[in-house]
Structure 1
């Protein structure tokens, strides 16, 4: 049996409809239990700030959390370098998603700026219905593979027959854009809700599929 293997590429541009606000905070304390306690208390404060902005505090989700020992270098009386224990450092990366609305985003950033927790943030955008986007990309990739196969078959003077196999990775497709990356919110002083004017670009999403066709 003669075959032809063709890789098709599908792509779409989608308008983001969901804001992803990543909020990161950390702290160092001498005692491990105190480190855990402070992390929990600061998370509670942030949830309260989210509530004040008009969203639900429980929508703030943990994306990464860690606690590690911290040491510092110093010179002893013999001028030799030594290391001494400083404490335990927690690192907490969270995220909250909500429909695109610059007024809501401005209120959240303002509440973060006036709360007692020092945070860094990044602003990203995605789409709510990711499955629909992925399906459309795959559909277009298959169609593109067929178009290429038909062109090659015609040029080679052969007839395109049935599909013998389809090779697709089913890997995760990234549907996100991040125009604002890691700012310290305390550095943005404002008297009231932040006046935000961000219009994110469309997100370009692409994927490939390889199809094996029988030819005769």
Structure 2
């Protein structure tokens, strides 16, 4: 006789207080010459280090997560609006720099103003995350397993059975991105006008959730 089973999904979720302010700096610029685009990228990185060190933070906190210099093209059309050709008209610099800082609005304001003053064509996204999310992930996973067992127990009892042994449990081991967005600064002008009051942000709790799939045996089925 085939063994009776229950297969279901357990979900775990926890709320955690963020302990890191993450600045994501996006730089998009146009250049006629490839060499000038590359030199500007190096200058941007150098300024980022100087801004951090001026504010008594290690320059190595600035991590370049993207650096791409690609062709900039435009389409040409005749007087009737018919496409003629695509013409290369220089290069675009796409640079992304990530900085993780303590949650300190005064410090963040100083960094933001420095970026606005010395790094052209920059946009800044301000968000909050965790320095080490693994303890929270493990706690969340334990809750997901407990949730699966609790649901299975209720289902078995409702069917007049007893929950038996755990047959299998699967976890997708997903890459969980823990981040909350707080503010976007869209231009150098906006960054230079930033004040500690305008960045007086109290970060919301982060919510981490994930699922497991479990199969239990059912004993004494009616």
| TM-score where L is the length of structure 2 | 0.88
Question: What is the alpha-carbon distance in structure 1 between the residues aligned to residue 49 and residue 66 of structure 2?
Answer: 16
Secondary structure, counterpart of 2:125 in structure 1: strand
Question: What is the alpha-carbon distance in structure 2 between the residues aligned to residue 93 and residue 127 of structure 1?
Answer: 20
> Do structure 1's residue 56 and structure 2's residue 58 form an aligned pair?
yes
Question: What is the alpha-carbon distance in structure 2 between the residues aligned to residue 99 and residue 63 of structure 1?
Answer: 20
Question: What is the alpha-carbon distance in structure 2 between the residues aligned to residue 142 and residue 73 of structure 1?
Answer: 56
Find the counterpart in structure 2 of residue 170 from structure 1: 173
Asked if 1 retains the 8 angstrom alpha-carbon contact of 2:162 and 2:218, the reply is: yes
Seen in structure 2, the aligned counterparts of structure 1 residues 161 and 186 have a Cα distance that, compared at 3 Å, is same
How far did residue 3 of structure 1 move? 0.9
Find the counterpart in structure 2 of residue 149 from structure 1: 152
Find the counterpart in structure 1 of residue 137 from structure 2: 134
Asked if 1 retains the 8 angstrom alpha-carbon contact of 2:116 and 2:187, the reply is: no
| TM-score where L is the length of structure 1 | 0.90
User: Which runs of no fewer than 5 residues in structure 1 stay unpaired?
Assistant: none
Q: What are the residue-to-residue correspondences of 1:10-25 with 2, within 5 Å?
A: 10-25=12-27
Question: What is the alpha-carbon distance in structure 2 between the residues aligned to residue 162 and residue 116 of structure 1?
Answer: 61
How far did residue 189 of structure 1 move? 4.0
Find the counterpart in structure 2 of residue 34 from structure 1: 36
Find the counterpart in structure 2 of residue 205 from structure 1: 208
Asked if 2 retains the 8 angstrom alpha-carbon contact of 1:123 and 1:181, the reply is: yes
Find the counterpart in structure 2 of residue 117 from structure 1: 120
Asked if 2 retains the 8 angstrom alpha-carbon contact of 1:46 and 1:117, the reply is: no
How far did residue 113 of structure 1 move? 2.2
How far did residue 20 of structure 1 move? 0.5
Q: What are the residue-to-residue correspondences of 1:77-96 with 2, within 5 Å?
A: 81-96=84-99
Secondary structure, counterpart of 2:69 in structure 1: strand
Find the counterpart in structure 2 of residue 180 from structure 1: 183
Asked if 1 retains the 8 angstrom alpha-carbon contact of 2:23 and 2:100, the reply is: yes
Question: What is the alpha-carbon distance in structure 1 between the residues aligned to residue 94 and residue 112 of structure 2?
Answer: 20
Asked if 2 retains the 8 angstrom alpha-carbon contact of 1:45 and 1:117, the reply is: no
Seen in structure 2, the aligned counterparts of structure 1 residues 160 and 53 have a Cα distance that, compared at 3 Å, is same
User: Which runs of no fewer than 5 residues in structure 2 stay unpaired?
Assistant: none
